[in-house]
Structure 1
Amino acid sequence: MAPPPPKELPGFYYDPDKNRYFPIRGLIPGAATRRPAPPPPPAEPPVPQAAAAGCSKRARQPELLHAREMYGGGVIFSNKRKSTFMRQCQYAQASQPMVWKYKGTALVADKALEELYATIQTPNGLKESKVLVTGSMNGTVRLYGLGTAIVNFEAEMEFLPEPAWTPLVKQKASMNSALASIWSAETAFSNFSSSVTCIKRLQHHFPGVGNFNSSSQRALVATLGSGESGGSIYIMDLSDTIELAMGSFNAYRGNIIQVASFNRTIWTADCNSDGTQAVIGTNSGAAFFDLERRALSWMYHCKSDILSQQFMQSGNVVLCGLRNGSIFPLDVRQRQHNSPTELSSPGTARRTVPLTPRRHNRWRNQADNTKSSRAVAMSSAVCSLVVLSSDEHYFLGSSMDGSIKLFDLRLIQKGPIQSYAGHVNSHTHLPLVVDPSETLLLSGGEDCTVRIWSIKTGEQIFAQSVAGSLFTAFCWPESGRDLHNSSMFGLNHSWGAWMGSRDGLFYMHGT
């Protein structure tokens, strides 16, 4: 019979050769030690092969769905960076978009694009419909109906889409999922004597423009000015109900009211979030205009043209981008003097408002100090500014040489914190637009190439020439409620953005 195994004694170990127990002592100084092998690291979720390959080959939707089912919808890894399932889906959709061009829309949307809402009186009752407002270099403003309610207008012209660029993997699908048509009148909604500078949506009701208190139905329109006449600003109001019985979309005419004209060239304009105040960028400085009181305040006088402006979300600060490459913030609460327009009613808003800065040393020093202490310089003329609504300290700026930068207003003296490379540009306007989730940045340069970047990482997601001319206007509408179930401009696509060029009106969307 085999002897029983030795008992384990705490603090001792058994040597079978010597058949005895020995005490367990500490290691001898200088002796080699054998450390126990460390436990294996926890297994990380595998990176989808397409996502790890970089910009040229992104993760496809089936791979992302597999990653979500295996590891949940939280943090996943892509390109050795932490990301989320939702963000990777957005990148995948943006890397393979479809682009459509609308026939017969040349020279109608090469300066400004904005989406508004209009109330339509149909045989089945009142319906709200999306309306695309376009502004052109030749001074025309047009309305394009996007909702199914507009189809009932008998006198409207239908504009059909045709594929402008389709990824290889979606060529068959595009034939079965054509984009919806849009409708407009043969004549322009309004004609101005000079180029349209910008169209900015207003969110607030103010006296003299109607009593329908609904957001997204009014817009600020600015014109450049030409010859001896300066630029002007207008209010477009679509809050009145459009009657189908009138026979034409443009027969309703709406309200487009001139609120002021100036003896300066207006390069740009913007309005605050509640639509009560506007800022104007001219060839000799920046002006503040109170839309409710019709009062003008001269904010800043400079020798360089102000080509771009953007209100911060608080409405207290406006960013100004100059032709000389400077970007500086101005506090609208520190305006120096007022010049009432003396307009008794919107119908008499024809008087020219002189923009003559007061020669006041204290005011000039204050403006100069503001510029020198908080200004940042880009490499050429600043043509577009976008403030991120998720955190107003961050803003994007583009310059005419193709540079696109992300800045932090709190660290503005230290320069940009992110760059977005790839654009080819030298002398033309370089517009910027971001998606509603503020994940993607879209722009187009002189090489007629549309590019999409990740705002957070700076990675270029999409770059493709989709037209024969450069894009000079963009609009990425908010993705919210779908006002008409059969519309192709919301519910049926993951995202969509309008693009305007001399060639015509384009629509880019995901799937």
Structure 2
Amino acid sequence: MPPPPPAPDLPGFYYDPEKNRYFPIKGPIPGSSHSSSSSSKHATHKASQTSSTQEKSRSCCRKLRSRTSKLIQAREIDGHRVIASHNYKCNFTEEFRKIQASQPSVWKYKGTDKIGISALKQVHVRVQTFEGECDSDVILTGSTNGSFSLCEVGRDGGYFDGEVKWTPDCVKNYAKGKTDENNVVPGPVSRPTGGSVVMSSGISCIRSGPECSSHAANGGPIVGHALFTTLGSETSGGSIYSLGLVESLDLGSGILNTWSRLDEVASFKCTIWTAEYDYSRHRAIIGTNMGAALVDLATGRRSWFLRCKSDIFAQQIVNSHEKRERVSRTLIEHRIPYASPNKKVRNSSKEWFKLSGDIDPSLTIRMPSSISSLVSLQYDDQYFLASSMDGTMRLYDLRLLQRGSVQSYEGHVNSHSRIQLGVDPDERFVMSGGEDRNLRSWSIKTGKLLFEEKFCDSVLSSVCYQSCKGFKDEDEKNQHKHESCMSAWLGSHDEGLFYMRWLCV
């Protein structure tokens, strides 16, 4: 049979011979011309069709993330964990977790706005009560006025007289089709009488020490020690403190026995911005306005390994790169070059950064402004996240530093604030507050912004992720439910304590 006659050309449409249909042409096609021949039109139509197919492939996961029902339907049809669509493959579990990360419930603890939270950390400990010992989750909070507090999480009972109890109030629920009435209610946060001590200056950072496996309990291993640092004031420098947590904490009438374990390890004549706990050698590493130093937690002996005129706001220990080297009293001076922010200015004095220490300048990188936060990933400590005070957020690989970052994260807003990055325990997402009062979270792997919302009128500068199986419920009549979830604590200087929760796959 002779071939069918060619279909007539219609303005604004192209003909698909396989589907025997006309399809609209969307947008201008590069290289097209009104005076082109039918053959060139056919090639143009084919290029447009190919471009449209590629765009559909790229938008496959975006469409799946937008609606949970479509994602589940695609998995049921495909019958596998990996869902194929044209030339693009999506992992069902990963994409579903991204959807969950974009739909948290947010709770504000009423009355905590008076705390002025500057640092926080949740630890699992043993607590002494009138009824005996029990496992409990405790939030260690530090404030701008110098208060360091122990607050118990998720307990309704009145174990202690005169304690302060803060209850949660749901401020946002982003899960589609879920109302506040059927939302799971987190437990209260209680601070016992005498549960705070006041230091000479504001608390700049809190870190937990190694876990004691010999004291493992149902709620997780017991933390052995906690470190915290004070910022320092005009009349005195900062200090580093250690609090023992191996023995059960008495949060009642014997609270003084708990505080007797609090030791001032060392004091400095400078500002202490941050600290890290070196578990392997029971020492602290601090960042100050004069450089970085090692502090032996048993003897208080300190040794400087980095001196510079720039404040050190963030630091991280990378275990695979630690060396048992001697710290020399004479630090080697370095002049590290960097590009001027304004390339038109040719001022050699601004093209070099001077510091002293045992470092390799070739392994040094520079971000656009002061570094606010660093987080080393545990599943592969070759990778670390960094954010700077101009809003830049990046992921680096220690093996590829000279090539720059391996991933970037757009949307973060900052200009001068110390804002902490938070990474979930499975290291899939990174979260941070911003100076525009928005909280954002990104996929670490893809860099895609998953969540961006404002539910607080101040900067959320502190974050502490926790994996949990719901709050404890020792009383069957209690309204708190058991539920597999992931959660995070958020702290603000002006508005206090917030709690976020996501349902887990």
TM-score range, shorter chain: 0.7 to 0.9
Map of 1:115 onto structure 2: 122
Deviation at 1:82, TM superposition (A): 4.0
SS in structure 1 at match of 2:179: helix
Aligned to 2:225: 218
Partner residue of 2:209 out of 202, 215, 223 = 202
Moved more, 398-407 or 482-491: 482-491
- SS of the aligned residue for 1:425 comes to coil
> 8 Å contact 1:100–1:507 — kept in the other structure?
yes
Structure 1 residues 361, 488: CA separation in 2 closer, same or farther (over 3 Å shift)?
Answer: farther
Q: Paired residue for 2:107, among 100, 103, 108?
A: 100
Give the residue type in structure 1 aligned to 2:491.
G
Return the offset for 1:252.
4.7
**1:411 counterpart residue number:** 400
Matched, 1:155 2:162: yes
In structure 2, the partner of 1:498 is: 489
Call closer, same or farther: CA 1:186–1:510 in 2, change over 3 Å. same
| Number of aligned residues | 420
Q: Which residue in 2 is equivalent to 1:467?
A: 456
Whole-angstrom CA distance in 1 between matches of 2:257 and 2:182? 35
Correspondences of 1:371-390 after superposition (within 5 Å): 371-390=360-379
Cα offset, 1:73, TM superposition:
5.5
SS in 2 for 1:307: coil
CA RMSD of aligned residues (A): 3.4
Aligned: 1:52 with 2:62:
yes
Contact 1:52 1:79 in 2 (8 A): no
1:287 aligns with 2:293: yes
Question: Where do 1:44-83 residues align within 5 Å?
Answer: 51-53=61-63, 58-60=66-68, 62-72=69-79, 74-76=81-83, 82-83=89-90
Give the CA deviation at 1:256: 1.6
Asked if 1:335 corresponds to 2:335, the answer is no
Mark the CA change 1:508 to 1:489 in structure 2 (over 3 Å): closer, same or farther: farther
1:495 counterpart letter in structure 2: M
User: Which range is displaced more, 444-453 or 161-170?
Assistant: 161-170
How many Å separate the matches in 1 of 2:386 and 2:479? Answer: 32
User: What is the deviation of 1:404?
Assistant: 0.5
Of 242, 246, 249, which aligns to 1:239?
Answer: 246
Shift of 1:473: 0.5
Corresponding residue number in structure 2 for 1:6: none
Taking structure 2 as the reference length, the TM-score comes to 0.74
Task: Tell me the secondary structure at the aligned position of residue 383 of structure 1.
Answer: strand
Deviates more, 1:446-455 or 1:164-173: 164-173
Map of 1:229 onto structure 2 = 236
Contact 2:332 / 2:357 at 8 angstroms: preserved in 1?
A: no
Name the CA distance, whole Å, in 2 between partners of 1:309 and 1:488: 42
Note the alpha carbon deviations across 1:231-285, whole angstroms, 9 max, x for none: 10000223332457x4586885462210110111111111124471211111111
Shift in CA distance, 99/481, structure 1 to aligned 2, threshold 3 Å = closer
Question: Does residue 311 of the first structure (1) align with residue 317 of the second (2)?
Answer: yes
The 2-side partners of 1:127 and 1:186 are apart by: 19
Secondary structure at 2:144 match in 1: coil
Q: 1:453-505 CA deviation, whole Å, 9 max, x = no partner?
A: 00000000000001010111110024489766779999524210000002110
How far residue 165 of structure 1 moved from its aligned partner, in angstroms, is 1.7
Contact 1:48 1:64 in 2 (8 A): no
* Deviation of the 1:305 alpha carbon: 1.2
What displacement does 1:303 show? Answer: 1.4
Q: 3-state SS of the aligned residue for 1:469?
A: coil
- For the residues of structure 1 that align with 2:228 and 2:142, how far apart are their CA atoms? 9
Residues 313 and 372 in structure 2, CA contact (< 8 A), matched pair in contact too: yes
Deviation at 1:413, TM superposition (A): 1.7
Q: TM-score, normalised by structure 1?
A: 0.73
- The alpha-carbon deviation at position 76 of structure 1 amounts to 3.0
- Contact 1:189–1:253 (CA<8 Å) still a contact in 2? no
Shift of 1:394: 0.3
Return the alpha-carbon distance in structure 2 between the equivalents of residues 100 and 304 of structure 1. Answer: 38
For each residue in 1:213-242, what CA deviation from the matched residue of structure 2 results, as whole angstroms up to 9, or x when unmatched?
A: x74142110111111311100002233324
Distance 1:426 1:368, change over 3 A: same
Q: Would the alpha carbon gap of residues 151 and 462 (structure 1) be closer, same or farther in structure 2, given more than 3 Å must change?
A: farther
Does structure 2 retain, via aligned residues, the 8 Å contact 1:137–1:196?
yes
Q: Structure 2: how far apart are the matches of 1:441 and 1:468?
A: 21
Q: Is the 8 A contact 2:225 2:243 kept in 1?
A: yes
SS at match of 1:412: helix
Asked whether the 8 Å contact 2:58–2:88 carries over to 1, the reply is no
Aligned partners of 2:460 and 2:490 also within 8 Å: yes
| C-alpha distance in structure 2 between counterparts of 1:253 and 1:394, whole Å | 38
Matched residue of 1:234: which SS?
strand
2:153: which partner in 1? Answer: 146
Taking the aligned partners of 1:496 and 1:488, their CA distance within structure 2 comes to 19
Structure number with larger C-alpha Rg: 1
C-alpha separation between the residues in 2 aligned to 1:119 and 1:398?
36
Distance in 1 (CA, whole Å) between partners of 2:100 and 2:58 is 16
1:441 aligns with 2:433: no
The amino acid that maps onto 1:462 is F
Q: Which residue is 1:397 aligned to? A: 386
Conserved? CA contact 2:463–2:489, under 8 Å = yes
Matched, 1:508 2:486: no
Match of 1:236, SS state, is: strand
**2:342 match:** none
2:106 and 2:498 in contact (8 A); partners too: yes
* SS at 1:288 equivalent: strand
| 1:469-488 equivalent positions in 2, closer than 5 A | 469-479=458-468
2:105–2:500 Cα contact (<8 Å) kept: yes
Name the SS of the counterpart of 1:152 in structure 2: coil
Q: 1:276 to 1:489 in 2, by over 3 A?
A: farther
CA separation of 1:254/1:239 partners in 2, compared to 1, >3 Å: closer, same or farther? farther
- Residues 176, 443 of structure 1: alpha-carbon distance in 2 compared, 3 angstrom cutoff: closer
Runs of 4+ in 1 over 6 A off after TM superposition: 46-50, 248-251, 359-362, 480-483, 485-490
Residue number in structure 2 paired with 1:262: 268
Q: Please say if residues 278 and 317 of structure 2, whose CA atoms lie closer than 8 Å, have aligned partners that are also in contact.
A: yes
Distance 2:247 2:156 in 1: 15
Q: 1:398 to 1:243 in 2, by over 3 A?
A: closer
